[in-house]
Amino acid sequence: MYVFMTNGTIDYLQRLRSQYPSEQMLLVCDEENGMLIHETEGTSVFHEPRPYEVLDAVGPLDGSFVVCNNIPVTDEGRPLFEHRFQQRARLIEKEPGFVSIRVLRPLKSDTYVIMTMWENESAFRRWQQSKAYEKAHEKRGTEKGIDQQRSIFPRPSYVTTYTVIKEG
């Protein structure tokens, strides 16, 4: 399975989405831009997408609030990073308000994306305050934490959040 992303104005992306009603797409926006997310077994309908291979997927491409943890990883660090996510605790799936997760391997860049989808922003914020979040991130900041493997991260990770724009 693959995920392709492209950015543009909301109007442009809505028109693009409407041209492909049978494709699985999610239109989201932040304060400045729109982004269209296309999930498929095949190729993208976008002209110049950011392509990703889906390493792990739980739940539908849906929700009202999307959080993308963007994590640059060196070529040498990819096996270690992917192993870490294959071993994840999977506690997030049990959280109230959780809709889905995608662990995305970049095909044309060095930045992995851990994308979670939530019923709303409040559900995500509650997850951040939960024991499950604490457990999922318990090694962070310790010598066993992947965040301390500085040689595999060429630059800091960053988080982007989006609101889903429903059709209509």
When pLDDT is averaged across residues 42-57 and rounded to a whole number, the result is 95
> CB of 112 within 8 A of CB of 73?
yes
Q: Please give the pLDDT value at position 143.
A: 55
- List the chain domain ranges: 2-164
**Residue for token pair 């988080």:** 159
> CB of 147 within 8 A of CB of 140?
yes
Q: Is the dihedral of CA 118, 90, 68, 61 positive or negative?
A: negative
> What end-to-end distance do the CA atoms of the chain give, in Å?
27
Note the CATH architecture for domain 2-164: 2-Layer Sandwich (3.30)
What is the pTM assigned to this prediction? Answer: 0.87
State percent of the chain over pLDDT 70.
Answer: 89
Q: Please give the pLDDT value at position 76.
A: 94
CA separation (Å) from 9 to 13, 63, 83, 145, 153?
Answer: 6, 21, 37, 39, 32
Q: Please give the pLDDT value at position 139.
A: 56
Q: Please give the pLDDT value at position 137.
A: 67
User: For residues 151 and 50, which has the higher predicted lDDT (pLDDT)?
Assistant: 50
Token output for 64: 């009202």
Question: pLDDT tens for residues 98-136?
Answer: 999 999 999 999 999 999 999 999 999 998 888 767 776
Alpha carbon distance 30, 33 (integer Å): 6
Q: Please give the pLDDT value at position 145.
A: 46
Alpha carbon distance 147, 48 (integer Å): 31
CB under 8 Å to 131, separation ≥6 — which residues? none
Token output for 59: 């739940």
Q: How many residues does the chain have?
A: 168
